[in-house]
């Protein structure tokens, strides 16, 4: 590809983000748990001015380092606190990621390969989805992948080997470390250990020292600050949580062992279909980037298959090697390799199945809620399905743009590959944008929208608010929970419970079980204690909480969409 055309490629990615991603960022509320969890931590950073300690409900939150929250806080500082600002950092990454992949592809192969790699990655269903969310993983994955890239280039290219490459590898590993934690170093270590084991790649002691030094310098300003200020307790709690994720299904995320295989096949369509054949590691001499991508793919897939807690975005690092291997196969087809009629039939059939699932689901929610209600005896689900929605009547046809994208791709890819990708990007962008404007707001209203609308109606009120019987972060962010001061009765009660019941001075000294008991103590005080402001208790309609239902001092102020809110006024 001629260098004169590169500005048009960059402009194309910029326009894609501007037209198909930015407008939908605030069409519907942030979703519980992760999106609201992270946005609330960022909001609390702004309110407290404490950018070194991640908090939830103004209490220590040990599960994540702060880098992504810094980005969200900066976005909220610019755009204001809300869903748009929480999702904007990932929308920005929707431009930076393909540009990064382009330069990587240009370095490994050539400019044409770089353009194809960047473009095909943007075609994937889940990559497209995550750029429209407020979750951490897109940054975490890009930092890890960039670290592996620079490490590979330094270790395998004698003619272009520069010392700064190993330092950059450590720098991005350090950024990943303060984005989501030590699992980043584990993944990088496993990849290069396998390269050493199978291909005898010599890493060298000096290179390890330089890499480690770079990681240390990048991450020590946060980890070191925390240890210096607070001692090692936060690091111990953080590591405990990481071990818990590996050893048991945290938050009820139990899934079958093949879960991530299915996620990647469906979620990375269309490029997963072309990459399947290339994921198997052949017996060949030497080391190339293709081999590295296969190693990385299997490391991610097998590691998170072993991990007991299975969440859809855990395997999202595999999107990068899958998209690379897909481009390798597509280039072979472009150069004359024929794909079978069976492959083409399966490709279009797969797109048809996905489109049918989307369309039928939307149709049932639009016109056949009585049919869905008859299929369940779950009280909360029945209440949710009875929520009145404003459908225009054509929404179930919107997924057809996804099927059109797949048909155009299959029609053009063998002879005019870049045209096929551009068409897929445009129609896929139309699919996500129209779904974002006209479908997801209604789904959001079914799941949580009415509840959040009520939260926003009381957001300026001085109050205490808590969920009872289930976990949520929505009431913190949308009802605007305030930081307590020594003048607040709830603050004093918390201190009293900590000191008398648990004999500790601060919340972070409690174990996980103690934190649950502590929360129960506080809710009980809000129900019967000497309160100084109204108290709200949020519960689900399918759970009977006797201490709320049988309390004459509480009034039901909200009861719809599967949620019920009790209010206790100050007497």
Whole-number pLDDT of residue 230: 66
Whole-number pLDDT of residue 4: 53
Model pLDDT for residues 297-342, shown as the tens digit of each residue: 999 999 988 877 778 888 999 999 999 999 998 888 777 666 677 8
Model pLDDT for residues 17-55, shown as the tens digit of each residue: 999 999 999 999 999 888 999 999 999 999 999 888 888
Write out the H or E segment, with its range, that includes residue 29. Answer: none
Would you call 323 helix, strand, or coil by DSSP? Answer: helix
Would you call 459 helix, strand, or coil by DSSP? Answer: coil
For the chain, the maximum distance between any two Cα atoms, rounded to a whole number of angstroms, is: 81
Question: With contact defined as beta carbons under 8 Å apart, do 479 and 43 qualify?
Answer: no
Tokens of 173: 């590993």
Determine how many CB atoms are found less than 10 A away from the CB of residue 99.
15
| Full DSSP string of 87-98 | HHHHHHHHHHHH
Q: Which residues pair with 216 in a beta bridge?
A: none
Q: How far is CA 353 from CA 13, 350, 359, in A?
A: 29, 5, 10
CA angle 339, 343, 347 (to 5 degrees): 125
Model pLDDT for residues 337-376, shown as the tens digit of each residue: 666 778 888 889 999 999 999 999 999 988 888 888 888 8
**d(C-alpha 250, C-alpha 315), whole Å:** 16
Q: Beta strand pairing status for 535-540 and 563-568? A: antiparallel
Question: With contact defined as beta carbons under 8 Å apart, do 362 and 398 qualify?
Answer: yes
3-state secondary structure string across 116-128: HHHHHHHHCHHHH
Share of the chain above pLDDT 90, in %: 50
Q: How far is CA 444 from CA 96, 137, 306, 365, 477, in A?
A: 29, 22, 33, 12, 16
Model pLDDT for residues 270-297, shown as the tens digit of each residue: 999 899 888 887 666 667 899 999 999 9
At residue 368, φ and ψ (nearest 5 deg) are: -125, 40
Q: Tell me the average pLDDT of the chain.
A: 87
Determine how many CB atoms are found less than 10 A away from the CB of residue 197.
9
Whole-number pLDDT of residue 263: 92
Domain locations in the chain?
62-337, 342-446, 458-568
Confidence of residue 158 (pLDDT cuts 50, 70, 90): low
pLDDT at residue 377 is higher than 60: yes
**d(C-alpha 313, C-alpha 319), whole Å:** 10
Average pLDDT of the residues in 125-132: 93
Whole-number pLDDT of residue 244: 64
Predicted structure pTM score:
0.92
Evaluate the omega torsion of the peptide bond into residue 270 and state whether it is cis, within 30 degrees of 0.
yes
**d(C-alpha 299, C-alpha 317), whole Å:** 10
Which position has the higher pLDDT, 223 or 167?
A: 167
Average pLDDT of the residues in 182-186: 90
Whole-number pLDDT of residue 232: 66
Evaluate the omega torsion of the peptide bond into residue 415 and state whether it is cis, within 30 degrees of 0.
no
**d(C-alpha 98, C-alpha 375), whole Å:** 44
Whole-number pLDDT of residue 102: 94
Tokens of 438: 């006209």
Model pLDDT for residues 458-495, shown as the tens digit of each residue: 999 999 999 998 889 999 999 998 888 888 888 888 88
Which position has the higher pLDDT, 562 or 544?
A: 562
């Amino acid at each position: 590809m001629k260098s004169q055309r590169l500005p048009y490629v960059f402009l194309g990615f910029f326009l894609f983000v501007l037209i198909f991603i930015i407008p939908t960022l605030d069409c519907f509320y942030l979703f519980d748990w992760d999106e609201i969890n992270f946005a609330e931590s960022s909001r609390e950073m702004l309110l407290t001015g404490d950018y070194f300690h991640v908090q939830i409900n103004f209490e220590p939150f040990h599960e994540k380092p702060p880098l992504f929250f810094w980005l969200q806080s900066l976005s909220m500082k610019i755009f204001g606190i809300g869903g748009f600002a929480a999702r904007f950092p990932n929308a920005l990454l929707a431009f930076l990621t393909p540009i990064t992949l382009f330069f990587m592809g240009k370095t490994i192969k050539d400019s044409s390969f770089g353009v194809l790699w960047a473009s095909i990655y943007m075609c994937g269903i889940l990559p497209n989805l995550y750029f429209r969310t407020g979750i951490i993983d897109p940054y975490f994955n890009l930092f890890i992948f960039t670290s592996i890239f620079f490490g590979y280039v330094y270790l395998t290219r004698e003619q272009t080997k520069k010392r700064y490459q190993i330092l950059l590898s450590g720098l991005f590993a350090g950024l990943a470390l303060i984005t989501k934690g030590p699992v980043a170093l584990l993944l990088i270590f496993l990849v290069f250990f396998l390269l050493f084991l199978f291909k005898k790649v010599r890493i060298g002691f000096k290179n390890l020292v330089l890499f480690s030094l770079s990681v240390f310098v990048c991450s020590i300003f946060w980890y070191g600050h925390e240890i210096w200020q607070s001692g090692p307790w936060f690091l111990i709690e953080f590591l405990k949580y990481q071990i818990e994720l590996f050893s048991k299904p945290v938050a009820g995320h139990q899934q079958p062992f093949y879960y991530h295989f299915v996620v990647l096949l469906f979620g990375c369509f269309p490029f997963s279909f072309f990459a399947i054949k290339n994921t198997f590691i052949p017996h060949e001499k030497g080391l190339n980037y293709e081999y590295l991508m296969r190693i990385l793919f299997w490391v991610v897939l097998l590691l998170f298959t072993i991990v007991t807690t299975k969440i859809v975005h855990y395997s999202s690092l595999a999107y990068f090697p899958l998209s690379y291997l897909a481009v390798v196969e597509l280039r072979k087809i472009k150069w004359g390799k024929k794909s079978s009629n069976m492959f083409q039939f399966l490709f279009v059939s797969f797109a048809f199945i996905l489109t049918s699932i989307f369309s039928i689901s939307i149709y049932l929610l639009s016109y056949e809620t009585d049919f869905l209600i008859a299929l369940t005896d779950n009280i909360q689900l029945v209440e949710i399905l009875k929520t009145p929605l404003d459908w225009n009547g054509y929404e179930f046809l919107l997924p057809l743009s996804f099927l059109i994208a797949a048909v155009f791709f299959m029609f053009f890819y063998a002879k005019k590959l870049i045209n096929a990708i551009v068409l897929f990007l445009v129609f896929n962008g139309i699919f996500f944008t129209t779904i974002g404007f006209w479908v997801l707001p209604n789904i959001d209203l079914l799941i949580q929208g009415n509840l959040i609308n009520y939260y926003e109606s009381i957001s300026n009120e001085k109050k205490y608010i808590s969920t009872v019987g289930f976990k949520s972060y929505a009431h913190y962010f949308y009802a605007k929970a305030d930081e307590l001061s020594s003048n607040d009765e709830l603050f004093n009660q918390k201190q009293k419970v900590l000191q008398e019941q648990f004999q500790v001075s601060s919340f972070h000294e409690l174990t996980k079980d103690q934190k649950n008991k502590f929360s129960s103590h506080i809710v009980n005080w809000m129900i019967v204690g000497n309160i100084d402001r109204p108290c709200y208790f949020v519960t689900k309609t399918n759970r009977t909480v006797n201490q709320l239902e049988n309390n004459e001092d509480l009034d039901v102020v909200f009861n719809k969409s599967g949620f019920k809110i009790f209010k206790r006024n100050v007497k």
